[in-house]
Amino acid sequence: MRLFHVSEEPDIEVFVPRLPTRTDLDQTVGLVWSIDQKRLPNFLVPRDCPRIGYYVGSQTTIADRQRFFSSFSATHAIILENRWYQRILGTTLYLYEFDEDDFVLLDDVAGYYVAKTTQYPKRRIEVTGLFSELIRRNVEIRMVDYLWEMADAVRNSTLNWSLCRMANAALRPK
């Protein structure tokens, strides 16, 4: 298994545990966050970019697969807002790879792993051409005006999904 932290910062040498702001976690225990390679496509966009990421899971029905994918070979998709297109084109990301020894699984669907100790990345990979990188990973990309309608549909499907930075999503039209 490979674990990564994705950042727009090119020069992080050490990752010190930070106290989580999520209320479902112990807010007194600092954590270093990472993502596994399978769910990495959800993070191959600028940090603040709102997005819907989803993939085929063991409970995904054929009907949902047909409804949410246009290609049978794709098993992962990401939906992005059109207004982020230029920013995505111009963003360079850095994947900091960790040894997995100190990390434990926090969320299997999202692919989140956490460590309670300071971490030093063993490798830094520069990623430019984010759309090309997603395509290389066989991720279906959808560009839409608004995410909310699709967020509701994906949330009510049998897919495994993640809604990221939705506070930054454009408001639903009235």
pLDDT digits (tens, 9 = 90+) for 28-42: 999 999 999 999 999
pLDDT digits (tens, 9 = 90+) for 108-142: 999 999 999 999 999 999 999 999 999 999 999 99
Bridge partners (DSSP) listed for residue 80:
51, 143
The answer to the question of residue 173 being in a domain is no
- Cα atoms in the Cβ-side hemisphere of radius 13 Å centred on 2: 13
Mean pLDDT of 67-73: 92
How confident is the model at residue 72, as a pLDDT?
84
pLDDT at 174 over 80: no
Residue 103 near residue 61 (C-beta atoms within 8 A): no
The answer to the question of residue 88 being in a domain is yes
How confident is the model at residue 151, as a pLDDT?
97
Domain holding 67, by residue range, is: 3-168
Nearest alpha carbon to residue 73 among 56, 48, 53, 93: 56
How confident is the model at residue 172, as a pLDDT?
76
Percent of residues, the chain, with pLDDT higher than 70: 99
How confident is the model at residue 173, as a pLDDT?
72
In 29-139, which ranges are continuous DSSP H helix? 62-68, 85-90, 130-136
pTM score:
0.93
The answer to the question of residue 14 being in a domain is yes
Percent of residues, the chain, with pLDDT higher than 90: 95
Q: Looking at the 3D structure of the chain, how many domains does it have? A: 1
The answer to the question of residue 174 being in a domain is no
Rounded Cα–Cα distance for residues 32 and 96 (Å): 12
